[in-house]
Structure 1
C-alpha cells in the first residue's frame, strides 16, 4: 500500500498528533500487517464498517478498496447483504458511491 499522507495533508496544521497517528500508525503500521490480514480483506472490512455507519469516509475507502483489488462484484454482494443489517438508505448511498468509483 502506498504511503498515506491524508492526515498531514488535511489536519497537519490543526491536529499534528492526530495526523501522525492516522498516517504512521493506522495506515503505516496497522494496514501494513499483510501477513496477518491482506490489504484486500482490510479494505472489505473497512468498507463494510463505514457503510454500516453511514460515514462519508466510505467514498475514499472505496477508492482504496479498488486499488487493493476488491472487485465491484464483491462490493455489490457486500452492500446487498449489509442492507438488511445496516439499513436500506445506507446501501443506496453506498451503491451510488460504488457506481462513481468503478465507472
Structure 2
C-alpha cells in the first residue's frame, strides 16, 4: 500500500478542486452558493444542495439544525419519500442512532406538511403530460 505525503489542508493547498476563499462561513454559503448558477438551473441546484446538506446533518447527528434544513429542502423540491430514503440509507453508513435522531427531527416537519412536500415532479408531469408516458 502506497503512502502519500500529507500536506496541511488550507484553502491554498486545495486549489481548484475545492475553491475556498478565506475562511468558509455558513452565512456566506447561504448567500453566495445560489448565485453561481443561471436562473434556469437554480432550482435543481438548490434542491441538490439541500439533499447534500440533509445527508451531512444526518451523518453528523445534528437533529437541531436538521429540521430547518428539511423544511428548506421540501420548499426547494425534495420529496418526503426522498428524505426518508436518505435517512434509511445513512443508517447503514452513519449509524442507526444518527438515523433515529434524524427520524425524530423529520417527523414533526412531515406531519406539519401533511406528509407531503410541495408538488412533486411526478405531480407536475401528470398535469402537463396527461398520460403521454403510459
TM-score normalised according to structure 1 size: 0.71
The answer as to whether partners of 1:72 and 1:98 remain within 8 angstroms in 2 is no
Match of 1:26 in 2: 29
Unaligned runs of 5+ in 1: 1-20
Equivalent residues in 2 for 1:53-72, closer than 5 Å: 53-55=60-62, 56-72=64-80
Residue 14 (structure 1) aligns with: none
Query: Which structure has the greater CA radius of gyration?
Result: 2
TM-score by length of 2: 0.55
Match of 1:74 among 66, 73, 82: 82
The answer to whether the 8 Å contact 1:31/1:42 transfers is no
Deviation of 1:22 after TM superposition, in Å, equals 3.7
Q: Whose helix proportion is higher, 1 or 2?
A: 1
Question: How far off its partner does 1:31 sit?
Answer: 3.3
Gaps of 5+ in 2: 1-24, 112-134
The number of aligned residues is: 83
For residues 22 and 76 of structure 1, the distance between their equivalents in structure 2, rounded to whole angstroms, comes to 25
Runs of 4+ displaced beyond 2 Å: 31-37
Superposition RMSD in Å: 2.0
